[in-house]
Structure 1
Amino acid sequence: MTTSESPTDTTTSGFFLPVLTDPVRRIGARTFDFSRQVAVMAIINRTPDSFFDQGATFALDAAVDAALRAAEDGADWIDIGGAKFAPGPEIPAAEELDRVLPVVEAVAARSDVVISVDTFWPEVAAACIAAGASVVNDTTGIHHPELADVVAASDATLVITHSLAEPRKPHPKPHYDDIAGEIAGFLLDRVAFAIDHGVRPDRIIIDPGHDLNKNTVQTLELTRRLTEITSLGYPTLAAVSNKDFIGESLDAPKEERLEGSLAAATACILLGARVVRMHNVRESIAAVRMTEAILGFRDPINPRHNL
């Protein structure tokens, strides 16, 4: 593994720039240098009861159109899911596959955007990888061990996320004595598990799981202490968009959480996150690219002022 030669502390920029092992990643048809780049992951939910859009992209045509529009608007990744994280009846693997596979196939045929599938089912992951997905976004911390085997047998990247409950099961009143330390320990344990199953370290991304089996106060503390996660050496994904910790912090309904979402995503980037998962693509792209410019990752596009 290689180590980034970019600044790794706050002495140069004033911001935390984490040391990453293997910062340059080939994911699908695109190459990312996470020592100097932040990727925006757009969200496409083929569910009738999705958390934010309440089924707006459940229809196949609507899902495909939204995915392609997100790619045209500048999204680096498209994350396609067929079952929400929240507790509820189990969605069988076959039904979830029926929802997500046609979207993966359609987007892969028309765009080189990175496609990830949000699933914990090994069979769903395998079919979607074969159809063109290059990321498996598992929000359950590899609940099914076979999922690691599926990723290991491919060139796909695995997102390992912290959560406590079994898939689709409630976890009321979660308790942490040391939230960032416990999440870091969990993620390192699951990373080791994935590597033991053959997943290459340069194919691993970690996600501390904002709001997943965490209340608002816990998620806010996790966000303040995010450097304890981003310093683990793997690119960190922050999935903050329109979540309840934003709504409860601002007393804002779901449709009024955009500004809070952009602020949370920006804070996470300044604390070392290198992928942000967002609903509002155009606004998120602008916020992320501006943050990259502040960090010195990119030059201004049209510098004229006072020149």
Structure 2
Amino acid sequence: MQAVANSPIIGAVMLPMRVASVERPVEDVKLFTLQALYGERLPPAEPGAHIDVHLPGGEIRQYSLVDCGDALHQYRIAVKRIKDGRGGSAWLHDTFDVGHEIMMSPPRNNFPLDETGTDYIFIAGGIGITPVLPMIERVEMLGRRWTLHYAVQRHEHALFRKVLSDYGGKVIFYTSRESNPSRLDLHAVLSAAQPDARVYCCGPAPMLQAFRHMTANWPSGRARMEAFEALEESDRSGGFVVELSRSGLSLNIGTGQTILEAILEAGVDVPSSCRDGVCGTCETRVLAGVPDHRDVYLTVEEQDAGDRIMVCCSGCRGDRLVLDL
């Protein structure tokens, strides 16, 4: 059936999109504006949401949305070229241009904004500002108190610098490689947070590792973070058995193999995407055994509960896991 212009794509599994414009706001970052191929209104997106971009080689990459709302006619994503990455950012930078068509998933949100708070602290590093910007715009619209701590190497590396500068003293920039450098003291920022403040963090792995460690004992839901990459290596140590309760299979996980790889080799279909423990697509219910969590999708409390596992990266703390597959 032919799509009707300006009608929403409702319930779509995949969205055919076209590149409307490409900008290079800072070094090594491209900002892509994407529109529905047939002009439809796009599914709504909340602050913190991302889309899965399906690349021609079959790879799937996740990118945070810069724009959020209920009546969107375009999505914008900012993509940083990763020198030692898996090729997704390089392809988008070198090949993806105006007029190119590509398939994407509707928005998903693993980094939702709790709008019930009255005081917010946002912490971002580099490209990590992308999911944070729409959060800032939302809490500003709601009239809430907020502060952004944004760390970059140099002022010219700050994405959306003009927009952020318009907020005045609510935004604090940190530049580590200027002639007069200023560095983000994460411990000081978190220590000064009011007891009821909601804190959101997105940035490079060292920042997120420190943030996770410093907020590990905070009340549930008060501190949230979003990772663009794994913070730990996937567990490939092997030496345990995974039982699939619904399939009736028992799999010996060998050295150099992830649980997901063993399950797929056995012919059992498990949805997966990033294969780094970031996106949550492969989340599976644990019926018995203790997972060795390596993901950044579950919160510390959710990991401690031990009833879910990201099979793409996590392992087993014993000799047996029983999964609801």
- TM superposition score normalised by structure 2: 0.26
Higher relative CO (CA 8 A, sep ≥ 6), structure 1 or 2? 1
Larger-gyration structure (1/2): 2
Higher helix share: 1
Higher strand share: 2
